[in-house]
Structure 1
Amino acid sequence: MVPLRRLPPHLSEFTYRIPEKLAQHVAAGSVVRVQFKNSLIHGIVVALHDEQESPQSSKDIVAVAPISLTQTQLVLARHLAELYVQSLGVIFNSMLSDPPAQLKPASRVKDTISVLKKPVEESTYLLYKQPDAFYTYLASHLGAWRHDGQTLLIAPERMQRDALVSVARRAGAADVLLVPDKRRRHDFARAWQQSGTAPVIVGGMLALLLPFEKLKRIVIIEAEHQQFHRAEQNPRYHLADIVWHIAESYHTQVILSGFSPNIRLLYHCLQKKYPIKQITGSPARPARIVDLQHERESGNFSLLSEPARDLIERTSGRLLLYYNRQGYARLTVCADCGFTVRCERCDFPLALEGSRKLLQCGNCGFERAVLLQCPKCGSVALRSKGTGSDRIVSDLKKLFPGKSVASFSSRSRAGDHGSAASDIVVATAAILSQRSFRFDAGIMLNADLDLHIPNYHAAEALRHAIGVLRSMAGELLIQTFDPSQYVFTTLTAVDHFYREELNWRKTLSYPPFSTILKVWVREKDSAVYAERRDQMLTYFRPALPTGPFERREGSAYIASILCKLKPGDTGALDLLRSSSYTWMHAEINPYQLL
């Protein structure tokens, strides 16, 4: 039996006795209630053996829940536990729903081992410029698919899932099952139970772990979307890590799609010689690249290039101005002593919130009043540095008094968009989720911003953002200080982008040419933090890690290390598997390195 709680990977299986009254109800995959230390907890039965093999001290199973995992899920869980160096209990917990009393046990899939030995049916990668082209493709196939096993449609965001449900119903799939967020516990539990037989299922990435009986194909929408890289659940599953394991477990076809390729998924497809196809639709206008360095040489030092000003002036409809930095100013600095105003909780620089005249931390949300003098030297020469989206709104209102200007960011409330009727909308990355928005033109103010973050997915993420913006705006202008960067030179050539990005990752030994292990400690008590940080460093010293990288997040102290593992190198993973430190956290191939 495996307890549904986080334990060291090598200490996760325990032996319990089955009372005679429960003997007919317990099988491999059953969810049971047992006495564990001083608590009653749930666990998963992973194997049955004769009573003679059980230790005399074994406790009895107390009760059996009315749901169970399938045999395919049990085998898949072991794969994922090995891949993510997690206890089976953590993996099982991510596969389960809460067991409402009225639900019946899910049926079990047999012949799991023979299924795992079968090859995956030929998969494919479909690339498009307009989502409508892919939805048309999907609608033309769903009518036949719903009579041929189960089809699972995975989308990163709720709005896209709702669109998929509409497409499926228009294609005749009236009984499409929408899997809700797991936080809606009872709704998710009912969807979990129905997923065994539903012909068409729509959900987020965790829907990949449902108890299917006849799964025939998995369709991934926007496989390059960052939500598939940085899922928030524990363990942090990443699409490129798990989708092929699941496909092999169910002997199912995988259909990937997107504006731009997920490099790791595309690499796998090409290694397997799966076809890569372009879906044609209404042609998108090519993006224009503006060299900001040339603008500086011409004497223009503003955020808007001359072509950008011209585009704003001649656009009679709505215009999107994309700038992925919130606030009014990014820093408040003393001009006399150089002191930078930082967050009291996490030491992050405080940004000026122009609309509310506050200093706000973009990391933990801490707020304080604007300072009138420097806390260090007493000078009143405090200066705001850097530019945020709120300041751009203010500047645009002065530059173009005849146009209405609004902002859109993660602070904007759903359904309350002054931007809906504005001539110019200044938006952060939050706009990328609003696929129903349409603009006559768009401008990326500084496309280089997101290329300089510690994230080996940066080029991939920027290319995805450009693809989304091109689908929302009739004309797109991209401002950059480095127009020779391959993200911009390969906008119309996916194969060239793939080769450039793959060469860069190979040179620096990033995935898919290595596995990156990130290990960290997080503590609120500074003394406990320092002790555990040093223990972590000592324990992983044989693996030659990089770090520690230390930061504050709210009231917590965080220290992390990174280990790059080449194929066949399992040293750091073996150390993690044998560790008994439950306060150490780990992530494989993290989205954010630091």
Structure 2
Amino acid sequence: MTHCILQLALDTPLNSCFDYRWPCAPQERPQVGQLALVNFANRDMMGLIVAVKDDTDVPLDKLKDALAVRSQLAPLSPRWLALAAFAADYYQRPLGEVALPGLPKNLRAAGTVALDRALKKMAKLEQTHDGAPVDMPALNAAQQIAADAIGGAQGFTPLLLYGVTGSGKTEVYLQACAQVLAREQDAQILILVPEINLTPQLEGNIRTRFPGVMLATLHSSLSEGERGLHWIAAHQGRARIVLGTRLAILASLPNLKLIVIDEEHDPSYKQQEGLRYSARDLAVWRARQLAIPIVLGSATPSLESWHHAQSGRYRLLELRERAVRDAVLPTVRLIDMERDRGKDGLSAALVAALKLRLERGEQSLLFLNRRGYAPVISCDACGWISNCTRCTSFMVLHKPEHRLRCHHCSLELRIPRHCPTCGNVDLQPLGRGTQRVEEGLQLLFPQARILRIDADSTRLKGSAQAAFDTVHRGEVDILIGTQMVAKGHDFKKLTLVGILNPDTALFSQDYRASERLFAQLMQVAGRAGRAARNEGGNASEVLVQSRYVSHPLYAAVMHHDYDRFAGSLLAERKQAMLPPFMYQALLRAEAPLLANAIAFLEAARDCMEHEGITINDPIPMTMTRVYNVDRAQLLLESPSRPALQAFLKVWLAALRDMKSRVKWSLEVDPLDI
């Protein structure tokens, strides 16, 4: 028996490719793309075969033998390996850190029981090719043009589907998918959504529309067994439609023919830990690699995508009217909180509007993107406030749980009975969160059915979908929610949206804050009036409470004027040389002392020449301390993406040679600066 050399990518923090021996006859050599179990650093772990060789630079007596090759699973394709290699190269991470975490844990386990069980279950299922949809509703003219453009696109065709809220973008997706499935017998389609709670509604629509098509879902709420089974269905080409969140972009799809990115502007598509990749950007690269169409859909496109559409790189498809006949965009009114202070954070005008909807039997939504009861409690006597002892943040009051909770490090404390500094027993909550608004509404409208949906009320698995189902059934009069309720949900009876306390984002140091606030307001406003006007002909409305009603952002929201708002922001970005006219990378450092993190970043800035690359001075992060660790950052900028990438490769090698004890990480194309 002869030996071959397997070069394996492993999920390790530095160099991720290592050589192992494997006994095999020439006709039984393992294949590139297969998984292999090896021992590394005294523990068994799964690796990905990236090369099969006859020799190695490492002395043979220094090599370990691979423990097993998972030959029962078909190899990952060369195109999938190229996708992983591109992501590793672009985001400056080892290949193993990209390729392995994207696979279900059951596939990476040392044992084969779970994998064998999933493969047997898949073998019993019949392969289906029937893509014929049922119940195809008629489209309006603009929808039909968009669906035909997507369904008939050939080769790499990036399309930006800009449609106002309620314009029927989902129906366009489904009918375009029907055209692709009908045209190509084995075609697979990948549909991405930004958040897990948006998958059930879309999944139900897909299953109803395509009863003969296998659908796989991929997101972090699935059990490992479910995720493994669905991943295999996609990998084998059995699942012809794959629906998932950002992790699904790394799914193995051998017959992928169309990619759809819904709510493409959403920052949730950017991973914020480990490999900080953008699923949207990788999707565009993957579509180019495979020479297939990709659709980016949104009512408020990201400035990057809008810029590409305006410059002709993307084809722009527009849906300017709501899809339901007689359904119109809601009227937006601004309420000046300097004049109408109201009570408990609710203006008199908003309270009156809520009362009117209750009398009509219609639903209302109050949007406040701040959970908890109050952001902080304080002592009027000495000025003490409930700071977190481990973070530069406040402990948020959660009154129903009788706890103070830090939303950054999860520290929980009992609510103090008196001020820890002066002993004063009269501690007061400052500001309002969703719990406090709920309490106030219950006092104002004791007869109303009130429901709060936020991260606190939907902690249990399935609780979010159960709550949304309650709203859809009409069993809720007033819904209070955070960003969880802002997009993707089609509440037929909802005719009023009240937006509370949006002003804080107007003064953020983050240059993206105004773009995000506008998108958030337009999305949540779009929950109102999605059905036709009621029998009384009453129009839906959105009431925005603000102390800065003359701000141009609110004027754009009031007129539903995305085009002008985006144009003005792009002009500002170009003048200031910010993305999409500049490319960025962010080096972050963490240490027990801020001075150590800053010192490391200063050394990183000065360790080599950087002609053509702007390296700014290191500064503390906005949230400087989290869980007793201080954090600082260093921003790099260049008008040339290739120049920045080339510099980062050399620079990172120099940083690794510095052998600092400071923990550091690099993010390419950062969203939060």
Fold similarity call, TM over 0.5: yes
TM-score (norm 1): 0.85
1:162 aligns with 2:200: yes
Q: Which one of the candidate residues 524, 528, 546 is aligned to 1:469?
A: 524
Q: Is 2:498 aligned against 1:494?
A: no
Gaps of at least 5 residues in structure 1 are: 107-118
User: What is the rounded CA distance, in whole Å, between the counterparts of 1:399 and 1:171 in structure 2?
Assistant: 43
State the aligned residue count: 572
Are positions 1:311 and 2:317 aligned together? no
1:77–1:91 Cα contact (<8 Å) kept? yes
1:369 maps to a residue whose letter is R
Shifted more, 274-283 versus 431-440: the winner is 431-440
Q: CA deviation at 1:472?
A: 2.3
Q: Would you say 1:220 and 2:226 are equivalent positions?
A: no
Give 1:151's aligned residue. 189
Name the CA distance, whole Å, in 1 between partners of 2:344 and 2:513.
25
Instruction: Tell me: CA distance 1:181–1:402, structure 2 relative to 1, closer, same or farther (3 Å).
Output: closer
Give CA deviations for 1:315-357 in whole Å, capped at 9, x if unaligned.
2232222122223332222323322222233352223333344
Comparing 281-290 with 372-381, greater Cα deviation is found at: 372-381
Q: Specify whether residues 180 and 189 from structure 1 end up closer, same or farther in structure 2 by C-alpha distance, changes over 3 A only.
A: same
- Quote the sequence identity (%): 22
Q: 1:179 to 1:286 in 2, by over 3 A?
A: closer
Aligned pairs for 1:79-90 (under 5 A) are: 79-90=86-97
Compared CA separation, residues 176 and 451, structure 1 to 2 (3 A): farther
One of 638, 650, 653 as aligned partner of 1:566: 638
| Code of the aligned partner of 1:576 | L
The equivalent position to 1:190 in structure 2, one of 224, 229, 245, is: 229
From the superposition, tell whether residues 52 and 411 of structure 1 become closer, same or farther in structure 2 (CA, over 3 Å): closer
Matched residue SS, 1:479: strand
1:490 counterpart SS class = helix
Relative to structure 1, the CA distance from residue 25 to residue 166 in structure 2 (aligned partners, 3 Å threshold; closer, same or farther) is farther
Q: Is the counterpart of residue 70 in structure 1 residue 111 in structure 2?
A: no
Structural mapping, 1:261-300, within 5 Å: 261-279=301-319, 280=321, 281-282=323-324, 283-292=327-336, 295-296=337-338
Give the deviation of 1:399 after TM superposition.
Answer: 4.5
Q: Deviations over 1:64-119 (max 9, x none)?
A: 1233321112222221112111011101113323331467799xxxxxxxxxxxx9
Q: Is the 8 A contact 1:33 1:64 kept in 2?
A: yes
Q: Secondary structure at the match of 2:437?
A: helix
User: Is residue 576 of structure 1 aligned with residue 652 of structure 2?
Assistant: yes
Amino acid at match of 1:514: M
Equivalences for residues 144-543 of structure 1 within 5 A: 144-147=179-182, 148=184, 149-172=187-210, 174-181=212-219, 184-196=223-235, 197=237, 198-229=239-270, 231=271, 234-279=274-319, 280=321, 281-282=323-324, 283-292=327-336, 295-296=337-338, 303-315=345-357, 316=359, 317-380=362-425, 382-400=427-445, 403=448, 405-413=450-458, 414=463, 415=466, 421-432=475-486, 435=489, 437=491, 438-453=493-508, 455-474=510-529, 475-491=541-557, 492-522=560-590, 526=592, 534-542=599-607, 543=615
Amino acid at match of 1:208: I
Letter in 2 for 1:61: A
Aligned partners of 1:454 and 1:592 also within 8 Å: no
Change in CA separation of 1:312 and 1:190 when aligned onto 2, cut-off 3 Å: closer
Can you list the C-alpha shifts for 1:518-549, whole angstroms capped at 9, x where unaligned? 333457xx47x975674455334554443132
Aligned residues of 2:216 and 2:233 also touching (Cα < 8 A): no
- Aligned-residue CA RMSD in angstroms? 3.4
Q: Which residue of 2 aligns with 1:96?
A: 103
Shift of 1:146: 1.0
Stretches of structure 2 that go unaligned for 5 or more consecutive residues are 1-6, 108-114, 123-153, 530-540, 608-614
Partner of 1:109: none
Change (3 A) 1:73 1:401: closer
Q: Report the CA distance shift for 1:567/1:176 in structure 2 as closer, same or farther (over 3 A).
A: farther
1:476, distance to aligned residue in structure 2 (A): 1.4
- Checking the alignment, whether the CA contact within 8 Å between 1:80 and 1:91 is kept in structure 2 is yes
- Residue matched to 2:672: 592
1:557 paired residue among 625, 629, 644: 629
AA aligned to 1:241 is: D
| Equivalent position of 1:47 in the other structure | 51
Question: Which of 29, 32, 36 is residue 32 of structure 1 equivalent to?
Answer: 36
Q: Give the TM-score normalised by the residue count of structure 2.
A: 0.76
Aligned residue for 1:384, secondary structure, equals: strand
| Structure having greater relative contact order (Cα 8 Å, sep ≥ 6) | 1
Q: Name 2:12's counterpart in structure 1.
A: 6
Query: Match for 1:506: what amino acid?
Result: K
